[in-house]
Homo-oligomer: A and B are copies of this chain.
């Protein structure tokens, strides 16, 4: 098995591309895929300021590294959710990497800022799926910090696997509005910073390989609340399907972006946004408080 690029002995095989790489050329491939995503969708330019959300996992650490290596103006944001050892390990990994790289990092401690950790919020809202609460918190904090730091684009490390799972989840319930919002680039709106997913062309496994080959540290533990999460089950399902039908993930997600998405846009009218009474951040018209403030106030 030879590297398709340089002819050296290959150590990485990518079944979905029917190709093999040596470690060095795999790194080039991975970084090129990130750059290709950024350029193809005009996600952000090198002179713009981007905020990359880093959990400490293999995907976000890989993305952060690529953005730094490629000379983007990047600030990293780590949200300390306060869920025990998992949060302590994650924060440790992120802080150490930032120091070694001399990279700009904002650590946002949820409990310190709002008096409540994610663990507390989850306990207060037993009827809600933890991922729902965590997603709200993360999206809120990312956008808020991005506005405060006058950042041009918020960048998240959603991979092809994440994109497939989210898209399929929204298709399972045929919520047309939710389907129409699936994208790799969400334009800025009133009070909302532009959002981009430059890893949408790469899988979880490819991120793990990139991080390992390039000695990028990452947290190996899984979030204690992720067990049984629908998104994990759907990702497993796509992994199994990919083994049987190589490249099915990219076929499904790229096909949606190129052909499927347009079917949904005509059917959905965008929700109007109004400022939340407490924090002034955007919320859906007709609501007094945004969901984040509702959670933080412990209201039901």
How many identical chains are in the complex? 2
Give the residue name and chain of the B residue nearest to A266 (CB).
Answer: B266
* A233/B237 in contact, CB under 8 A: no
Interface centre among A174, A233, A240, A252 (most CB of B within 10 A): A174
Q: List chain B residues, Cβ under 8 A from A266.
A: 263, 266-267
Q: List chain B residues, Cβ under 8 A from A260.
A: 171, 174, 176
Give the residue name and chain of the B residue nearest to A175 (CB).
Answer: B259
Q: With the chains together, A268 CA to B223 CA distance in Å?
A: 43
- Kindly state whether residue A264 has any CB partner on chain B within 8 Å: yes
Shortest Cβ distance from residue A165 to the other chain B in the assembled complex, whole angstroms: 12
Interface size on A, residues (CB 8 A): 27
A157-186 residues with Cβ-Cβ distance < 8 A to B are 171-176, 179
Q: List chain B residues, Cβ under 8 A from A92.
A: none
Cross-interface CB contact of A237 among B175, B240, B264, cutoff 8 Å: B240
A164-219 residues with Cβ-Cβ distance < 8 A to B are 171-176, 179
Known contacts A172-B252, A266-B266: A233-B245 contact under CB 8 Å = yes
Q: With the chains together, A230 CA to B241 CA distance in Å?
A: 10
Q: List chain B residues, Cβ under 8 A from A245.
A: 230, 233
* B263/A171 in contact, CB under 8 A: no
- Kindly state whether residue A88 has any CB partner on chain B within 8 Å: no
Give the residue name and chain of the B residue nearest to A243 (CB).
Answer: B233
Q: Which 6 A-B pairs have the closest CB atoms?
A: A174-B255, A174-B260, A174-B259, A263-B263, A263-B267, A172-B252
Chain A residues engaging chain B, CB cutoff 8 angstroms: 171-176, 179, 230, 233, 237, 240-241, 244-245, 248, 251-252, 255-256, 258-260, 262-264, 266-267
